[in-house]
Amino acid sequence: MAKKRILFIDNRPEHLRQPILRLQVAGYDVDDADGGESGLRALRAKPYDLLIIDAELPNEDGWDVLKEVRADPRLAGMKAIVFMAGKGETGRLMLVPVEAELRRPFTLKALVDAVERVIGPP
């Protein structure tokens, strides 16, 4: 059986290393993208089970990317986890539905737990 595939979008490489490694150790296949445009290209190029995205991307922020994902018939059913600042942005969650949210700072265990709740174990 194929591993479950995750795309992780964050423009800061220092924020990607540990979460990606932890998800890989847990058994998931994880790709990353450094921004909204490259993330959308990746989502349209191959199938993913889950999108994990930073709400605070430069240029096109994570919320804009999520709106595009939800508007694209090929991607509309994509499950998503958004991570954001510790406070604020709650109103945006009502406008752009996601399966889970993580508030910074979050632990790697909380990340893996959220992924397992959304798409199941690897």
> What CATH number is attached to the domain comprising 113?
3.40.50.2300
DSSP category for residue 109: H
Domain ranges, residue 13:
5-117
The identity of residue 114, as a single letter, is A
Indicate the pLDDT class of residue 118, thresholds 50, 70 and 90.
Answer: very high
122 domain-assigned: no
Residue written as tokens 């009502």? 94
What lies within 8 Å, CB to CB, of 15 at 6+ separation is 54
- Number of domains observed in the structure of the chain: 1
Q: Please report the pLDDT score of residue 110 as a whole number.
A: 96
In a domain, 75, yes or no: yes
Q: Is residue 39 part of a domain?
A: yes
Average pLDDT over residues 19-29: 96
93 has a pLDDT exceeding 60: no
